[in-house]
Structure 1
């Protein structure tokens, strides 16, 4: 089993190295589903030795973008590569919740830089996942991150199973959202070979003036999940 730790810090990258994860998905603003991390953070995490796949999502609130957005995303992809990133994670939808043709341009650009490419949980908003997965594969994506169109993976297990059984040889299917020590083995029983999970918890520190909550790495969660597969 390959493990991808979703994190927003160098400390998370170090924990991923410590417990033998294959890579991290690096994000800022995890409270809104993840936004593009700053380049200093990408480089700092890459310097730990872990493979860094960085999300490319420059604004919250959805996944419908235009040509100007794509230009911004290309700049971010280039910067992520230069900072030592090994891959990028993105997904663009049309206003009708279908896979946008703009993804093909971005996917080709990222691959021309030698990056691997993951289509992220924008997929969980599509109307027809059976046709959507075919389009994602045709565009050249290496991996799909999905919760099976549900808020949590345990509720989307039927979709995840379908994707793995029908397309698992064409693209890596990676469940994510709510993966924990209690359900990891159940997810593995679908035949998937990749698990994605966030491992952080409140630091217990006080916050004020709308500056957000300080979080810290939950090493126990990382250890407990990975130990299940030893």
Structure 2
């Protein structure tokens, strides 16, 4: 079975590179160095024309995933914008203060996204009991869980990911993400995955007045079509 490659992007150049490199699906974000935030309406509209399935990250700010009433309302409006733009789905997550899944908040967001494809994002990696959280996720209409296995990089969590995939038993897709490349992909394919998530990006030094004045970092990560292609080939 072919493994679906999802590539996360946060600008127009990254979107074009992911498409050129052969990505199967796009996770559309802003601010990937912060873990990905909600993309602009304009970026959603652009991505809707790229020819691939596009999932919009719905995350109103950096930091954890414990959301206020005002933030949940904002997320509902952002979900409506993603739907109006014609995107296939959204990527959501919400936590309780102890890291467990906030099921009422998630049910509310899922209801706002009725009819759309749904990914539970790496809020899952904060849960105190992954096995319990997986069963909780199955009570909601998620197609997949994006997870690094609870560690900073998925390559550090092969046994944990294998356990989740075994427990899921095809009821929901466990999609490894974080630090995945063409070189590390062979660690994941024997687990029986059907999807995998990567940034396929390179670090690029940036200079100039915009950097000097604080409008951007001196080093940026940029999606690279050749890295997308290499990862896609490694998954074959």
- The question of a shared fold, defined as TM-score above 0.5 by the shorter chain, is answered with yes
- Per the alignment, in what secondary structure is the counterpart of residue 34 of structure 1? coil
Q: What is the match of residue 105 of structure 1?
A: 108
Report 1:14-163 matches (<5 A): 14-101=16-103, 102-110=105-113, 112=114, 114-163=115-164
1:9–1:45: 8 Å Cα contact kept in structure 2? no
1:147–1:176: 8 Å Cα contact kept in structure 2? yes
1:81–1:115: 8 Å Cα contact kept in structure 2? yes
1:209 matched to 2:213: yes
CA shift, 1:215, in A, is 4.4
Cα 1:78/1:39, change in 2 over 3 Å: same
In structure 2, how many angstroms separate the alpha carbons of the residues matched to 1:218 and 1:79?
28
Please, which runs of 5 or more residues in structure 2 have no aligned partner? none
2:131–2:167: 8 Å Cα contact kept in structure 1? no
1:4–1:21: 8 Å Cα contact kept in structure 2? yes
1:219 matched to 2:189: no
In structure 1, how many angstroms separate the alpha carbons of the residues matched to 2:98 and 2:222?
38
In structure 2, how many angstroms separate the alpha carbons of the residues matched to 1:98 and 1:216?
33
In structure 1, how many angstroms separate the alpha carbons of the residues matched to 2:186 and 2:45?
33
CA shift, 1:167, in A, is 0.3
In structure 2, how many angstroms separate the alpha carbons of the residues matched to 1:159 and 1:73?
30
In structure 2, how many angstroms separate the alpha carbons of the residues matched to 1:87 and 1:51?
8
In structure 2, how many angstroms separate the alpha carbons of the residues matched to 1:165 and 1:52?
27
- Per the alignment, in what secondary structure is the counterpart of residue 53 of structure 1? strand
2:120–2:142: 8 Å Cα contact kept in structure 1? yes
Q: What is the match of residue 8 of structure 1?
A: 10
Query: Could you tell me the TM-score, scaled by structure 2's length?
Result: 0.92
In structure 2, how many angstroms separate the alpha carbons of the residues matched to 1:164 and 1:65?
29
- Per the alignment, in what secondary structure is the counterpart of residue 109 of structure 2? helix
Query: Which is worse superposed, 52-61 or 207-216?
Result: 207-216
Note the alpha carbon deviations across 1:134-166, whole angstroms, 9 max, x for none: 111112211100000000001111111111111
CA shift, 1:173, in A, is 0.8
